[in-house]
Structure 1
Amino acid sequence: MKQVITAFAGYGSGGSIYNAPILKSVEGFTVKKILTSSPKNIEAAKKDFPKAEIVSNYSKILEDPEIELVILVLPNHLHFDFAEKALKAGKNVLTEKPFTPHVREANELIKLAHEKNLLLSVHHNRRWDSDYLSLKKVVENGLLGRVVEYEAHFDRFRNQVKSGWKEQKENPGSGILYDLGSHLIDQALNLFGLPQEIFADIRTQRDGATVPDAFELLLFYPQLKVTLKAGTLVKEKGPTYQVFGTRGSFVKYGADPQEEFLKNGISPKDTPNWGMEPKEIWGRLNTINEERLVESERGNYPFLYQNLYNVLTRGESPAVTPQQARDVIRVIEAAQQSHDERRVITFG
């Protein structure tokens, strides 16, 4: 089986928890080098990939002719610089979400990847959450009729401000709109396409916080309103998704189990029930024709890496295109403009 020779640039929790176990569950990837300097991250990298070389200089990856794919697991403000260098060195690139802090940077990378005929993709893994896949199936099968309203939440209770880069105001791309908002926006765009108008309310609610930690984002379509909300002071969670249509409603509580599996060191490779939700959190469909629980679709984070392998070895189309990931940043920038100017922004 052909091996895609791969390198990681960065190896914090995004690498060791959210990417490495998924990558290792898909055949065809060989990790040759890992760029990291923290003793803790070096230890994790050696444990996950004992045969990989740990390097402290990015040039060791860029100058290695065997390496075909570079996975960027870095703070958001470093995505553009590291991706640009990798593309210029002739490497295919997968970067963590969000793509880049600014649309202009995303456009530059898209142009460069096109010129070099290289794969450029973004790790929007939550398209393969079990709950999102379930509601998407309900919507696309027309069980709700014409959808008129969609509301999605990504709420947490974290009342203490952490010291990491995500909480630092001086870093472009920090704050909850880029962090959790990019997931919610990508899901909505994947389901409904681009909106016509955007309105946003972005807040900093926790004591001592210096970056946004709550938002409400409204996307307006001709016959549809989309509400996306996230907060860090939500102790009692409501529905994760609510979708209303001309024939009825779909309401879903709870969350896809894959993230908790990964946090607890559980890998899809060794887990027969990977991505399967318990019946207690299946969504409820209530329409003019029926009222029932809808068995959740199986979550499938490995799909993205299997797709990457197929793109690089069989010419398959990428599941997450850089243009799609760029549009997420377009929405984020429009949302920030809406908040700053306290008005609806026409999106075109």
Structure 2
Amino acid sequence: MANDLHVALIGYGLAGSVFHAPLLAATPGLHLHTVVSRQADKVAATYPQARVLADPAQAFADPAIDLVVVATPNDSHAPLALAALAAGKHVVVDKPFALNVAQAQAVRDAAARTGRVLGVFHNRRWDADFLALRALLDDGALGEVAELHSHFDRFRPQVPDRWRDREGPGSGLWYDLGPHLVDQVLQLFGPPLAVAADLARQRSGASATDYFHVQLRYPRLRAVLHAGALVPGHGLRFAVHGTGGSWIKHGLDPQEDALRAGAVPGAAGWGRDPRPGTLLRAGDDGSVQEAPSPAPAGDYLAFYAGMRDAILRGAPPPVTADEALQVMRVIEAGLLSDAQRREIPFP
């Protein structure tokens, strides 16, 4: 532990307590040294060895801290990341990277200027289903993809009283789930030609976006990203169709539920999806036959192992600032498209 990177986690809400803290604690070479939170009792109950502070500035000023993880409400991501970088710390920012492209560029430029490692927590690159889809595309099993439908639906008819569901900067589903779905498509297919978005508030009493239907247009491919809060039959995760076949996936990656239940990341069976996708191969005669589908295990630990290696060994960060900035460009284009009710050409 003496040679471990000392980590300060800023924020101990859903993102901090369910995702970041357990993954940090389970990653060799990282030590959860400090948690900045007003919930000292809650932190101490699970991580008694961690120091608890009330003010992020105290953590930034501590020379013992190597890495700062920003897991706070979205509107504070960029200011806290900039402050941590100015103090000479390496930084992880939870998604979304920032509220807009200008903020994201400022954080990226600050990391380059200070020579610090900056990563953005797009953890769903390591979902079991996404890894399976990537393997299928790398293998050419689907031929040239013409349609990708990526869903992250839920049935939550009551509006929770939390910042994510209140009107305000960075709230709503497009900021919450949109970055995950956008990042996955950009990883597979690169930047689109244009973005067309429909954002809505569908639930009674909703003050923040709780529905989005967004199309990323490519020369041939149409990638449709969809999320809603009024979907009782919310089983579909992916439907991908190409000249060589289709891949259909129901159910979400199991890692979030496992983390919520207190399971230890990396334990036996970690990340194994109980509902692997269905691969349908198309024959030259127009026939369609089911074939074995890849079923890799999800691995959120890979993100923090990658951050450790980037800091200690000079490896590329697992999610680079430029990649996260490109996600923010799509998020911003989606907001503009919805506001102007038109397709926005992508730079």
**How far apart are the structure 2 equivalents of 1:175 and 1:253?**
24
Q: Which residues of 2 match residues 34-183 of structure 1 at below 5 A?
A: 34-37=35-38, 41-170=39-168, 172-183=169-180
Instruction: Please give the secondary structure, in 1, of the residue aligned with 2:52.
Output: strand
Instruction: Please give the secondary structure, in 2, of the residue aligned with 1:303.
Output: helix
**How far apart are the structure 1 equivalents of 2:239 and 2:130?**
11
CA deviations on 1:155-200 (whole Å, 9 max, x unpaired) are 0111111111111213x11100000111101111111110011101
CA deviations on 1:28-75 (whole Å, 9 max, x unpaired) are 1122221111xxx32231133212211112221111111110011100
Instruction: Please give the secondary structure, in 2, of the residue aligned with 1:19.
Output: helix
Deviates more, 1:18-27 or 1:93-102: 18-27
Instruction: Please give the secondary structure, in 1, of the residue aligned with 2:234.
Output: coil
Gaps in structure 2 of 5+ consecutive residues: 284-288
**How far apart are the structure 2 equivalents of 1:48 and 1:69?**
20
Q: Which residue of 2 aligns with 1:17?
A: 18
CA displacement at 1:142 relative to structure 2 = 0.2
Are the equivalent residues in 2 in contact too, given 1:282–1:293 (CA < 8 A)? no
Q: Over aligned residues, Cα RMSD in angstroms?
A: 1.2
Instruction: Please give the secondary structure, in 2, of the residue aligned with 1:138.
Output: helix
| Paired letter, 1:296 | A
| Paired letter, 2:346 | F
| Paired letter, 1:288 | A
Are the equivalent residues in 2 in contact too, given 1:100–1:106 (CA < 8 A)? yes
Instruction: Please give the secondary structure, in 2, of the residue aligned with 1:145.
Output: coil
**How far apart are the structure 1 equivalents of 2:121 and 2:45?**
23
**How far apart are the structure 1 equivalents of 2:117 and 2:11?**
19
Q: Which residue of 2 aligns with 1:255?
A: 252
Instruction: Please give the secondary structure, in 2, of the residue aligned with 1:17.
Output: helix
Deviates more, 1:15-24 or 1:178-187: 15-24
CA deviations on 1:62-110 (whole Å, 9 max, x unpaired) are 1111111001110000001111100000011101110001110000011
Are the equivalent residues in 2 in contact too, given 1:176–1:214 (CA < 8 A)? yes
**How far apart are the structure 2 equivalents of 1:293 and 1:179?**
33
| Paired letter, 1:286 | L
| Paired letter, 1:308 | M
Instruction: Please give the secondary structure, in 1, of the residue aligned with 2:240.
Output: strand
Are the equivalent residues in 2 in contact too, given 1:283–1:293 (CA < 8 A)? no
Q: Which residue of 1 aligns with 2:279?
A: 285
Distance 1:326 1:277, change over 3 A: same
Q: Which residue of 1 aligns with 2:214?
A: 217
| Paired letter, 1:266 | A
Is 1:195 matched up with 2:192?
A: yes
Q: Which residue of 1 aligns with 2:301?
A: 302
Are the equivalent residues in 2 in contact too, given 1:242–1:249 (CA < 8 A)? yes
**How far apart are the structure 1 equivalents of 2:215 and 2:8?**
38
**How far apart are the structure 2 equivalents of 1:31 and 1:145?**
45
Is 1:6 matched up with 2:7?
A: yes
Are the equivalent residues in 2 in contact too, given 1:6–1:33 (CA < 8 A)? yes
Are the equivalent residues in 1 in contact too, given 2:97–2:328 (CA < 8 A)? yes
| Paired letter, 1:236 | G
**How far apart are the structure 2 equivalents of 1:237 and 1:216?**
15
| Paired letter, 1:224 | L
Gaps in structure 1 of 5+ consecutive residues: none
Q: Which residue of 1 aligns with 2:286?
A: none
Output the TM-score relative to the length of structure 2. Answer: 0.96
| Paired letter, 1:301 | Y
Instruction: Please give the secondary structure, in 2, of the residue aligned with 1:60.
Output: helix
CA deviations on 1:276-309 (whole Å, 9 max, x unpaired) are 012xx21111112552241411000000000011
**How far apart are the structure 2 equivalents of 1:196 and 1:104?**
21
Q: 1:273 aligns with which of 256, 260, 269?
A: 269
CA displacement at 1:238 relative to structure 2 = 4.3
Are the equivalent residues in 2 in contact too, given 1:20–1:48 (CA < 8 A)? no
Identity across matched positions, percent: 39
The aligned length equals: 341
Q: Which residues of 2 match residues 230-241 of structure 1 at below 5 A?
A: 230-241=227-238
